[in-house]
Amino acid sequence: MASILVLGASYGSLLATKLLMAHHRVTLVCTAPTAALINREGTIVRFPVKGREGLVEIASRDLPGLLQAATPDQVQPESFDLAVLGMQESQYGEPGVRGLMQRIAQARIPCLAIMNMPPLPYLRRIARVQADLLKDCYTDPELWAAFDPELVTLASPDPQAFRPVGEPKNVLQVGLPTNFKAARFSGEAATRLLRRLEADIEDARFAVGGEVLDIPVKLKVHESLFVPLAKWPMLMTGNYRCIRPHGMIAIQEAVHGDIERSRAIYAWVADLCCRLGADPADLVPFEKYAQAAASLKKPSSAARALDAGAQNIERVDALVRRLAVQLGLANRDLQEVVGLIDARLAGNRLAREERIAA
């Protein structure tokens, strides 16, 4: 039984549930009220399962693994085998969380990020990336300075999940049950742990009414460092294009509203990934992505956050633009997206300042 620390009890509870099904011990890091709720009632994650009507509800209390929740100040990283970074990039600099991140770095615990925004130490593993020139894309770039790139890797957070409206904070619903596709670590020991978790999750089953089910959302470990970059064309084609000057649209509409423009944006970002070192086989064909996007009837989390007044969101859009500059490339659609998000964030910050002044 491995001990896994998961930062972020919302999206993080998805991978946590799969680890609990596989008999592992998981600690979810969250706020004090959410930790109290989870320690009292556990978590619930609802999965769509192929061939079944409705959703399969999996409660952590019904699983063989051990779950607890804690606030950042309660965590001693030395007691864990792996840290999973399941929060939004801007949250790692918050009080309490930042201190925990520094303790994780000092303890040299392997870190698997399931973030859209790749951690700076992971980007330092890519030879063609000048990571120091990307710091402006991060909310708090200096907090990553203490992390050893050999102990940081990234999984493409392809599974889509959300907290159902009106439900408590220990409930999550999976909208798109795809897999976490992780790049191996630089070192062998940490990679062996990832492969062990991959195998354990693959073997785990869940019984419902006497029927033994194979629950979707697996962890897939790849030798290629570039497999997680497959999310970048998806983000730029769908997630960030949900954002509008005065509102938001669903991912489905962003992609299928002008399918040929979406295809062109997707191909351009995919080419950028290949110029950084990815093989075309590391990436997802546009047709497969477009088919998945057809079922995504909600706006992206980035769009919802901006619409709710967020001061910061994950800026993969700005990161991709900065990498393009490093390679001497430019794209009009990308420039428009970055400019729009810059303007929306500036508006949110100004509105906050005006509320404080009033």
Mean pLDDT of 102-117: 97
User: For residue 38, what pLDDT band results from cuts at 50, 70 and 90?
Assistant: very high
**pLDDT at residue number 171:** 97
Using DSSP, state whether 43 is helix, strand or coil. coil
Q: What's the CATH fold of domain 229-357?
A: N-(1-d-carboxylethyl)-l-norvaline Dehydrogenase; domain 2 (1.10.1040)
User: Does the pLDDT at position 146 exceed 90?
Assistant: yes
Polymer length of the chain: 358
Check residue 210 and give its pLDDT: 87
Parallel/antiparallel/unpaired status of strands 111-113 and 152-157: parallel
Same fold, 3-222 and 229-357: no
| Cβ within 8 Å of residue 87, ≥6 positions away | 7, 8, 11, 12, 97, 115
Query: DSSP H helical segments within the chain, as ranges?
Result: 12-21, 32-41, 97-107, 120-123, 188-203, 231-234, 251-256, 259-276, 286-293, 301-307, 316-326, 332-357
Residue 238: the pLDDT is: 97
Mean pLDDT value across residues 262-291: 97
3-222: CATH, from 3.30.565.10, 3.40.50.300, 3.40.109.10, 3.40.50.720? 3.40.50.720
Per residue in 190-246, pLDDT (tens digit) is: 999 999 999 999 999 999 988 999 999 999 999 999 999 999 999 999 999 999 999
- Please list, in sequence order, all residues whose beta carbon lies within 8 angstroms of the beta carbon of residue 325, skipping any fewer than 6 positions away: none
358 pLDDT more than 90:
no
Angle between helices 332-357 and 316-326 (to 10 degrees): 140
* Average pLDDT of the segment spanning 301-318: 95
pLDDT at 29: 98
Q: What is the mean pLDDT of residues 292-309?
A: 93
Query: Any idea where the domains of the chain sit in the sequence?
Result: 3-222, 229-357
pLDDT exceeds 90 at position 63: yes
